[in-house]
Amino acid sequence: MKRRIGILTGGGDCPGLNAAIRGVARAAYESMEDVEIIGIKDGLRGLIDGEYRKMKPEEFSGILTLGGTILGVNRQSFKMVSRIGEDKIDRVKLMMEHYEEMGLDCLVMLGGNGTHKTAGLLSEKGLNILGLPKTIDNDLYGTDVTFGFHSALNIATDVIDRIHTTAASHGRVMVVEIMGNKAGWLALYAGMAGGADVILIPEIPYDPQKVLKAVKRREENGKGFTIISMAEGAYTKEMAKLKKKDREAQMSADPLTVGQRLAIFIQKETGLESRAVVPGHIVRGGSPSAYDRILSTRFGIHAAELIRKGDYGYSIALKGTEITHNPLSEIAGKSKLVPEDDAVVKAARAIGISFAD
């Protein structure tokens, strides 16, 4: 029985995408006869515009360690994709038409929350869809870990490690602003692994005065520097009183990043030399970690097994040590945020790390 499998990589790039693509393809070739893999260019944009090609088996060799994605990405927001705007283009209809034009038996969509929302929508429309959970933010509901997170964590931790030496040498307060607009998993784990003194994440609004208190306490104890791990989406308790829309508008209108603003505030209030470091997209680049290579491959293998069985409408997940799957209808559109009683939050507090709350 011939199987024609479409694959696209949605959202932003991250380490492990190519490893997951390889995992799906190689497991499909091994477990089924007469398999064709259709690569869709630049994520959902390619599905909308009908840009795709039949891939050769040899294209999946040598990509396990390769960062980014061989298929390309292009961000398409769920709002833009799911609604007919001023341009009068029905993108959902186009995606469904191109799915049929490609003669697909199923479509594997690698991506984060936005991609999974679209995956859920297409599944509801009757297409055979599988999702693979990819994001450095680790905020996809239903899976313990997303692929890409551990690679980004290693890089973010390395940044904090390197900041320690210059912070100690100069006696500075260093604010390391790490990706994580809505979820603070990366800043939390990197802060814990990198020995940060203060961790600021969106889920726990902070009091600037308590940040100053933590900095001053270290100064009084003879520790001449402070490291702050701060998520890009972290905000103050005062800003938490605003409506989400107003808060986001205020933050996006500020020419300074949250880390830069905090560093300026600390230096003004304490007189201590303070600097902000923004590694930005560096944390999502480069080769995937060994952990992510294995996790991505296992996700891909599980997807291929579901394809072999003809089971669709799921997102692959890691729960404990087992690879499993969740119905798209149950996880699409849901975010996994850091709970205030998270085990790592508790561990951080137990060793004196401040969340300035």
Tokens of 347: 């561990």
pLDDT at 87: 83
Give pLDDT tens digits for 195-208: 999 999 999 999 99
- Catalytic residue of the set 137, 139, 197, 292: 137
Please give the model's pTM, rounded to 2 decimal places. Answer: 0.93
pLDDT-derived band at 38, boundaries 50, 70, 90: very high
Is residue 203 a contact partner of residue 184, using CB atoms and an 8 Å limit?
A: yes
b/e code 284-315 from CB counts within 10 Å (16+ = b):
bbbbbbebbbbbbbbbbbbbbbbbeeeebbbb
- Please tell me which residue, 92 or 87, carries the higher pLDDT value: 92
Domain boundaries, the chain: 3-147+288-331, 152-284
Give pLDDT tens digits for 322-345: 999 999 999 998 999 999 999 999
Average pLDDT over residues 173-201: 97
Burial of 249 (0-12, 13-18, 19+ CB in 10 A): exposed
Pick the CATH number of 3-147+288-331 from 3.30.70.890, 3.40.190.10, 3.40.50.10680, 3.40.50.450: 3.40.50.450
Average pLDDT over residues 303-331: 96
pLDDT-derived band at 245, boundaries 50, 70, 90: confident
Q: What percent of the chain has pLDDT over 90?
A: 87
Tokens of 330: 């149950």
At residue 2, does pLDDT exceed 90? Answer: no
Q: Which long-range contacts (CB under 8 A, 24 or more apart) does 251-259 make?
A: 257/177, 257/232, 258/177, 258/230, 258/232, 258/233, 258/234, 259/175, 259/176, 259/177, 259/230, 259/232
At residue 50, does pLDDT exceed 90? Answer: yes
Ramachandran sector of residue 99 (left: φ over 0; alpha: ψ -120 to 50; beta: rest):
alpha
Give pLDDT tens digits for 115-161: 999 999 999 999 999 999 999 999 999 999 999 999 999 999 999 99
pLDDT-derived band at 228, boundaries 50, 70, 90: very high
CATH number at 152-284: 3.40.50.460
Which of 134, 186, 133, 135 lies closest to 159, judged by CA? 186
Q: Is 137 a catalytic residue?
A: yes
pLDDT-derived band at 265, boundaries 50, 70, 90: very high
Instruction: Tell me how crowded residue 33 is: count the other CB atoms within 10 A of its CB.
Output: 8
Q: What percent of the chain has pLDDT over 70?
A: 100
At residue 65, does pLDDT exceed 90? Answer: yes
Asked whether this chain's domains 3-147+288-331 and 152-284 adopt the same fold, the reply is yes
At residue 303, does pLDDT exceed 80? Answer: yes
**C-alpha distances out from residue 155 to 173, 178, 180, 197, 357, Å:** 21, 10, 14, 19, 27
pLDDT-derived band at 11, boundaries 50, 70, 90: confident
pLDDT at 88: 85
At residue 177, does pLDDT exceed 80? Answer: yes
Is residue 157 a contact partner of residue 194, using CB atoms and an 8 Å limit?
A: yes
Asked whether the CA dihedral 76, 81, 82, 88 is positive or negative, the reply is: positive
At residue 1, does pLDDT exceed 80? Answer: no
pLDDT at 49: 94
